[in-house]
Amino acid sequence: QIAEQVVFENGNRPSTEWPDMVAVLTKGAVNYAAQMEGGPIMGFFTLPNFTSSSRPVPPMYIHVFMRGVGPLAFNAVSGLLFMHLMTFSPGTKLPNSQNVLEGMSHLGMTFGAYQFNLEGMLISAPKEEYLAVLHRPLPFRIEDDKGILVSHIQAIPWQGGAAIKMTGNLPLAGFLPFLGHVASNAQIFEQRDGAISSVLPIGKAEFRELLRRIQSQTNLRVKPEEPKMVFSKMSDEGTSTPIIVRLSLSILRLRDIVFPDGAHREKFDDAYEVVFTTISNVRANAKKITEMIEAHRTGVMLGSRGRIKNHTINIDETIDLPLHSAVAEFLNGSVRLLKDAMQRLLIVLGLDVGCLYRKSGGFKTGIAKLRKADPHLADYLEKTREWSEPLITLRNDLHESWLLPKFSYTENGGRIDVDEPRISGEATSAFVTRMSDRVFCFTEDVLAHALQGRMPPELSIAEIPIPDRKADCPERFEPTFVSGGATIWRIAYHDSTFDET
* Res. 126: pLDDT tops 80: no
Dist CA 342 CA 355 (whole Å) = 13
* Res. 232: pLDDT tops 80: no
Query: Amino acid letter at 353?
Result: V
Please list, in sequence order, all residues whose beta carbon lies within 8 angstroms of the beta carbon of residue 153, skipping any fewer than 6 positions away: 139, 140, 142, 164, 165, 166, 175, 211, 214, 222
pLDDT: which is higher, 452 or 304:
452
Do residues 338 and 388 make contact, with C-beta atoms less than 8 angstroms apart? yes
Dist CA 190 CA 166 (whole Å) = 10
3-state secondary structure of 376: helix
3-state secondary structure of 483: coil
Distances (CA, A) of 300 to 149, 203, 409: 68, 66, 9
Dist CA 290 CA 283 (whole Å) = 11
Do residues 178 and 170 make contact, with C-beta atoms less than 8 angstroms apart? no
pLDDT: which is higher, 314 or 498:
498
Average of per-residue pLDDT across 449-471: 95
pLDDT, tens digit (0-9, with 9 covering 90-100), for 384-417: 999 999 999 999 999 888 999 999 888 887 788 8
Q: Which of 71, 68, 78, 73 is nearest to 100 (CA)?
A: 78
Q: Could you tell me the sign of the dihedral formed by the alpha carbons of 388, 392, 393, 395, in that order? A: positive
Q: pTM of the prediction?
A: 0.84
pLDDT, tens digit (0-9, with 9 covering 90-100), for 34-93: 999 888 888 788 888 887 777 889 999 999 999 999 999 999 999 988 888 888 888 888
Do residues 4 and 111 make contact, with C-beta atoms less than 8 angstroms apart? yes
